[in-house]
Structure 1
Amino acid sequence: MSEKSESDHFKGWLWKWTNYIKGYQRRWFVLSNGLLSYYRSQAEMAHTCRGTINLAGAFIVTEDSCNFMISNGGAQTFHLKASSEIERQRWITALELAKAKASRMMENDESSDEDGGMVIVDTPPNGDLVNQVNQSVDSDLRSTLRLLASKLDDLATCNDLISKHGGTLQRSLAELETQGKKWHKAIIHEREHRLRLEETVETLAKQHNTLERAIHAGTGPPRSDSKIDEKENDNNVSEDEDDDDEFVDASDKGFTTEFVKTHKKSESTASTTSSISVDVSSVKDEVAAIARKQSSVKIRRTQIPDKPNYSLNLWSIMKNCIGRDLSKIPMPVNFNEPLSMLQRLGEDVEYAAILDRAAKCTSSQEQMAHVVAFSCSNYATTLYRTGKPFNPLLGETFECDRREDLGFRILCEQVSHHPPAAAMHVESKDYGPNSGWTYWQEISLSSKFRGKYLNVCPLGVVHLKFHASGNYYTWRKVTTTVHNIIVGKLWVDQSGEAEVINHTTGDRCKHKYFPYSYFSRDTPRKVSGVVVDKNDKAYYVMSGTWDSHMDAAQVDSVNYSNRSKPAYKTLPAKRLWQKYPLPIGSEKMYFFSTLAVTLNEEEPGIAPTDSRLRPDQRMMEKADWDLANELKQGLEDSQRARRRKREAEAIAKKAAGQQVELYKPIWFSSKKCEITGEIFNVYQNEYWECKEKADWSRCPSIFEVQKAPILQSVTAAES
């Protein structure tokens, strides 16, 4: 933006061509007394000038709508660019006026030099008053005439500029008016589109309420007038057709960026209107069938008690823990969230629908792209989750059977206490020898407090197998960092490099989780990578963020001019994962997702070692943190007592020459992986059978607290 401070001064920002490497650079230009000077910044005016050109004798050339050039015919030439055509025109006008004025000043100086530079008037010794007055009047007249001549020259220059650039200005104004009309039409269109969307949402809300009433009634939807049903269904068809346009954006630094519009329309759309309007009874029957099916699914809770406002200085607890493993340090529940680490593991498969889609992929590279998107979705819930999960007790378990609504069931068990390690096994709904998928892992956490931040490094390998194709995948998780431990608001970041490998086909995808930086221009929480086959041929470019979405763009061609960083030209991208919105009021519920809210929900028939039966965790969820801290201390003391008992028994057996058997998990057993060579615990396929028989004889009593007063207080609180 330029500004005019005085009649002969003009200054502002312009873009100046520097060289072929840097191109145009933004510089501060000052026009004063016929000289055009430039600086890197306004502050630089006080001490340094980067260059100056004298406009007297210079010529000014306009190149296009924003570019122009100034040259004095010698070594000095400025190639400049304004931010807009109007801004360029303002500079051209100022420069032409300054050039004309500088030229006149130079001519006057030359004529003065020819005349000797000074006029000397001889007067008689005694002086003639009349002659002196006449000379004074002549001098004033000459000054006035010179001033008038200067003004006439200015007017002539302005007239030339108007005649030269008036057409350009008129075209610019006409273009601005045309753009104004276009924006006005666009605003009207967007307003109409918003109104249509609001009507669609209102219609869907009505249908949702109808389905909810049908589910609760259990016998189908309430009766309604057929004509109303016909009208609503017809409206739905037209509105759905408007909403079939989906826009996706595949972009990443170094990748081709395209804005793609895909129109998704089913083959039956053309006949939908007639079929719905004619056969209303069939629609009612279908809705009733859906309602009966959903009535068999348990209605899950949608909220938990609000987190109380307990003030506790985190630094006062952690200042003595710098460099130590936090898993070995007892922490109050004030820093926890009412879920155990086993339940947090269950959140890894919140987006298991991606794996269901991946199982249907005919291309192993396309399936790999889905698996990478799924691995990134594991971190979707961690952005605001600064609370620490409860450390599971040894032998603690967690089951989550959500086959009817989410399509999977989970079993987790704490298989080691020092070091802490948890084993996890997940099966899809259609799990079988030749169908569905299995997901399993044994993971332990190494957490180190570094003063300003806390590093949590997951140890262990994640395994995934699709039974129909036999494709076997593995990958490792990246580092989680919690910042602002000492001062400020806590925030979480994921960083590091990960590699998903298909050991069956040799496909792999190296992708990077970019650490957040205040000074980086990259998208925050960015993840990017490339899916390649065993011959390093690129198939898909993966891009997105670990807290929001992941896209896959098929590679069309590759430019290997830069071997270290090839450039990929891609086809339109496809969104493989999109984060679900958090439930309303999640900021008061530890920022739990919709799935996380249900994980600690009380449920009958579960094992007595299940995390949902932990008394300290239950009391924390009910906002009784004082009692929760007492219970937590009691449970940890009981666990230490059991460990000392096992150690004493082992010493006695060893002294008696008997074989000493280490702790054995309940539902998992150690096995060497044929793919990775690691020793880890795998599921023994017995838990769900024991649950059907209600046989929990092998489960230890791990939630018994030794302190009787605490048990009495828990009983009183429950009652």
Structure 2
Amino acid sequence: MSEQGKGSASTSTAAPAPGSDTYKGWLFKWTNYLKGYQRRWFVLSNGLLSYYRTQAEMAHTCRGTINLATAHIDTEDACNIVLSSGGRTYHLKASTEVERQRWVTALELAKAKAIRMMNDQSDDSGDEEPTTQSDRSEIQGTLKILVSKLDDLSTCNDLIAKHGAALQRSLSELEGLKVPLEGGEKIKAVNERATLFRITSNAMINACRDFLDLAETHSRRLQRALQHEREQRTHLEETIEQLAKQHNSLERAWREAPTHASSTPSAPTTSQRSERVSKEDASDEDEDSEYFDAMDESTEFITVTASENAQHKRSQSNLSGAIGSQASDWDQEDHMSPICNDVSAKGLMRRRQHRTQIPDKPNYSLNLWSIMKNCIGKELSKIPMPVNFNEPLSMLQRLTEDLEYHELLDKAARCESSLEQMCLVAAFSVSSYSTTIHRTAKPFNPLLGETYELDRLEEFGYRSLCEQVSHHPPAAAHHVISQRGWTLRQEITIASKFRGKYLSIMPLGAIHLHFHASGNHYVWRKVTSTVHNIIVGRLWIDQSGDIEIINNTTKETCQLKFIPYSYFSRDVPRKVTGVVADSEGQAHYILSGTWDEKMESAKIIQSSEGSSGSEGKQKTVYQTLPPKLLWKKYPLPENAENMYYFSSLALVLNEPEDGVALTDSRLRPDQRLMEEGRWDEANSEKQRLEEKQRAVRRRREAEATDALDEECDYDSGREYEGYQPLWFHQRRDSITGETNFVYKGGYWESKEREDWSMCPEIF
């Protein structure tokens, strides 16, 4: 991080008028309390403010840079300027108030220009390639034209020399004819002019010859340099491929070793050597590392299962009675997977004959690193991605996959004890990650206004609707209503960063779950997902972070901890632990399991302070009854590895269905082409949809800007999309205080009327 603290600006010299592309000058910058203000040379160019100790340093050493597009500009007094962006702060001071004002004006203009450029270059669908196929075709066409013109120039060179010599001969022949004196003088004058033309033509011919020779020489040198670069690239790709093969071979050998084969899963194994290398490299990304060195005691408590005698004795105690008499029936049900609790629904599912397979994924070889190596530090939505790295589902459909284990909510709605209900809600929140264990492909970014419905009213009693309500930032709103006693809504915005070694995906936004009978209202947020081994090796995904589930009706809470994978941990990979506590903070249930397999709950019958952990913190020891199964993952369909590792629900999400809205993801052509294995056509269609949406957005912004300018009410610097979702509207949430999109109704009524005239044409 650069120098922080008070900064200072200075005397500005050699500075052109504000508003030009480059602005330079001396300013005083605050360095530290020992040296105070130091004179530095500042250069403002292309929306970036950089500084150097001297002007000579501009050729080799930049001391720091701030991107004005994301910077905040402030003034402290008559001569001071404060710039802050991303945790970096410059305190600058000019020599006079006039100089300060010149710099502030230049900075503000540069910031506005940088924001406009960033917005112009932004990708409406999140997948635009910086150099499109049409751009590449245009470059190739231009090169062909240049080559053709060079050939024409060479031909003209020869023709001028040929015709010039012929003209000279003809004039010489005319001079030899016997003509009157006056005619001879005119012929002589023409001959002199022809001689001048010949001299000029020869000069041009020589210049053209020199140009042709030079162009030919440089062309050969550039061709050799290009060929060398191609060979180097090929060699590098072969080296990386060989390294990947050796990496996988070592991984296989380590996995098959007798002492480790039964204890460690394959996916995290892929990361173990990567972590060792990262420590040896001393990478500057250490601050973003998802690994932890000491994980021997990852949980904040210790659980001890009580004996049979203790169970009998404690069953009559006040501790167990505090949970409620309903526990017995609930505990007995938990020995079964939730899917076994609704046989009739499964029968209906079979009668509807949903599809059980999709076309196998084609074996297209494409290097992920070659796409992402220039995108380190960027948002995921800014990374250019062909469909080769997608899966044939949209983000709206992935969001709907959260409902795969909706039976947990049906079961929770029947609970009379709110603490038992909390356990099932917690299991539901964990179950949504079980589909991600092998799903490292990227879903399609929805187009603005795209929707997705999942109508399972007859089979399972619920209806789900998603809509893409915003593009900057990309946000999707989701609403589910169930006849079995619950309503779920969420608005999810994806924030993501590519760090070179891994990709972090941070879902933002709260999930609200309301049970109709009890009135219990639960709120929680999702954890961070991390995709590892971007450069080399097999991709694998991990979930890490904390989830706090709050029952805002009873003030009961559940603290869930997703423990990140560590090479040094003795715990099982993908472990999740949790504690369910009442409004007074007293723990009643312990939750444990993994986010990819199952979750269990154990009722606490006694607690006490135990021994200190590795960091000297005293851990609580909970004595519990034997754990009961809350949730267990369904097995994947046969041949799932060739169908993007889709679950049974994921296989039917993109199944064609009659009567859906014209904006439904099932009707998206590029996604459909990809599912059918026609990836080249899908890429072309994807590009068409993106360009169509960009044109619509530009037109909408232009109309909105004109309207606001007329009213003299334009807020400078604010991006205006002028778009209002069709089925959701913004409301302030009374619980979280956040403004988010909630369902306003009308969709299912329109479906019954078969009237979609209000839907925009986005495909």
C-alpha separation in 2, matches of 1:663 and 1:569 = 56
Q: Secondary structure at the match of 2:537?
A: coil
Which position in structure 1 is the counterpart of 2:757? Answer: 697
1:258, distance to aligned residue in structure 2 (A): 6.8
The aligned runs of 1:207-218 (5 Å cut-off) are none
Match of 1:662 in 2: 722
Instruction: Determine whether 1:498 maps to 2:547.
Output: yes
Residue 684 in structure 1 maps to residue 732 in structure 2: no
TM-aligned CA deviation for residue 561 of structure 1: 4.4
Match status 1:486 vs 2:535: yes
> In 2 relative to 1, CA 400–655 (structure 1 residues): closer, same or farther, beyond 3 Å?
same
Q: Distance in 2 between matches of 1:560 and 1:534?
A: 21
Structure number with greater CO (CA < 8 Å, separation at least 6) is 2
Q: How does 1:1-400 map to 2 (within 5 A)?
A: 254-257=302-305, 294=348, 297-400=351-454
Q: Report the counterpart of residue 675 of structure 1 in structure 2.
A: 735
- Secondary structure at the counterpart of residue 604 of structure 2: strand
Q: Which residue identity lines up with residue 574 of structure 2 in the other structure?
A: R
Which has the larger displacement, 295-304 or 311-320? Answer: 295-304
Q: Which amino acid aligns with 1:601?
A: E
* Deviations 1:140-189 (CA, angstroms, capped at 9, x unpaired): xxxxxxxxxxxxxxxxxxxxxxxxxxxxxxxxxxxxxxxxxxxxxxxxxx
Counterpart CA distance in 1 for 2:653 and 2:365 is 26
Alignment of 1:453 with 2:511, yes or no, is: no
SS at match of 1:656: helix
* Segments ≥4 residues shifted beyond 6 Å: 289-293, 658-661
Shift of 1:685: 1.8
Residue 588 of structure 2 corresponds to 539
* In structure 2, distance between residues paired with 1:252 and 1:306: 45
C-alpha separation in 2, matches of 1:408 and 1:386: 29
Give the TM-score normalised by structure 2. 0.54
1:640 alignment counterpart? 694
After superposition, the C-alpha distances for 1:334-367 in whole angstroms (9 at most, x for unaligned) are: 0000000000000001101001111111111111
Relative to structure 1, the CA distance from residue 385 to residue 258 in structure 2 (aligned partners, 3 Å threshold; closer, same or farther) is: farther
CA distance in 1, matches of 2:664, 2:461: 21
**Equivalent AA in structure 2 for residue 577 of structure 1:** W
For 1:696, the aligned partner's letter is W
Give the Cα–Cα distance (whole angstroms) in 2 for the partners of residues 357 and 655 of structure 1: 55
Percentage identity across aligned positions? 61
User: Is 1:624 aligned to 2:672, yes or no?
Assistant: no
Whether 2:517 is the aligned partner of 1:468: answer: yes
Q: Is the 8 A contact 2:396 2:451 kept in 1?
A: yes
Structure 2 alignment gaps of length 5 or more: 1-298, 312-327, 330-342, 612-616, 715-720
How many pairs align? 425
Partner of 2:564: 515
Structure 2 residue aligned with 1:221: none
Q: Which residue of the partner structure matches residue 78 of structure 2?
A: none
CA RMSD of aligned residues (A): 2.6
Question: CA–CA distance in 2 between the matches of 1:253 and 1:483?
Answer: 29
* Cα 1:622–1:659 shift into 2, 3 Å: farther
**Is the 8 Å Cα contact of residues 372 and 383 (structure 2) preserved in structure 1?**
no
Contact 1:352–1:408 (CA<8 Å) still a contact in 2? no
Aligned partner of 2:631 among 577, 596, 604: 577
Distance in 1 (alpha carbons) for counterparts of 2:739 and 2:618: 36
The amino acid across from 1:254 in the alignment is I
Is the 8 Å Cα contact of residues 609 and 701 (structure 1) preserved in structure 2? yes
1:477 and 2:531 correspond: no
Take 2:472 and 2:307, find their aligned partners in 1: how far apart are those partners? 51
Q: 1:366 to 1:295 in 2, by over 3 A?
A: closer
User: Which amino acid in 1 is paired with 2:372?
Assistant: M
Contact 1:351 1:377 in 2 (8 A): yes
- Confirm or deny: 8 A CA contact 1:377 1:579 kept in the other structure: yes
Question: Which residue type is aligned with residue 506 of structure 2?
Answer: C
Asked if the contact 2:300/2:619 (under 8 Å) is kept, the reply is: no
C-alpha contact (below 8 Å) 2:345/2:460 kept by paired residues = no
Question: Which residue in the other structure is 2:103 paired with?
Answer: none
In structure 2, the residue matched to 1:527 is: 576
Q: Deviations over 1:620-660 (max 9, x none)?
A: 00000000000011100111001000011011211322888
Q: Distance in 1 between matches of 2:461 and 2:598?
A: 21
Distance 1:295 1:680 in 2: 34
Distance change (3 Å), C-alpha of 1:681 and 1:297: farther
CA distance, structure 1, for counterparts of residue 349 and residue 669 of structure 2: 31
Residue 403 of structure 1 aligns with which residue?
457
CA deviation map 1:184-231 (0-9, x unaligned): xxxxxxxxxxxxxxxxxxxxxxxxxxxxxxxxxxxxxxxxxxxxxxxx
Residue in structure 2 matched with residue 559 of structure 1 by the alignment: 608
Q: Which has the larger radius of gyration?
A: 1
Q: Distance in 1 between matches of 2:367 and 2:633?
A: 33
- Counterparts of 1:523 and 1:632 in 2: how far apart (Å)? 41
The answer (yes or no) to whether the contact 1:352–1:407 under 8 Å persists in 2 is: no
Q: In the aligned structure 1, how far is the partner of 2:428 from the partner of 2:346?
A: 32
C-alpha spacing 1:296/1:694, structure 2 compared with 1 (3 Å): farther
SS at match of 1:701: coil
8 A Cα contact 1:653 1:659, kept in partner: no
Residues 686-709 of structure 1 deviation map (CA, whole Å, 9 limit, x = unaligned): 100110001112110000xxxxxx
Q: Which runs of 5+ in 1 are unaligned?
A: 1-250, 267-288, 431-435, 704-719
Does 2:463 correspond to 1:415?
Answer: no
Q: Map 1:423-442 onto structure 2 (within 5 A).
A: 423-430=477-484, 436-442=485-491
- What is the one-letter code of the residue matched to 1:701? E
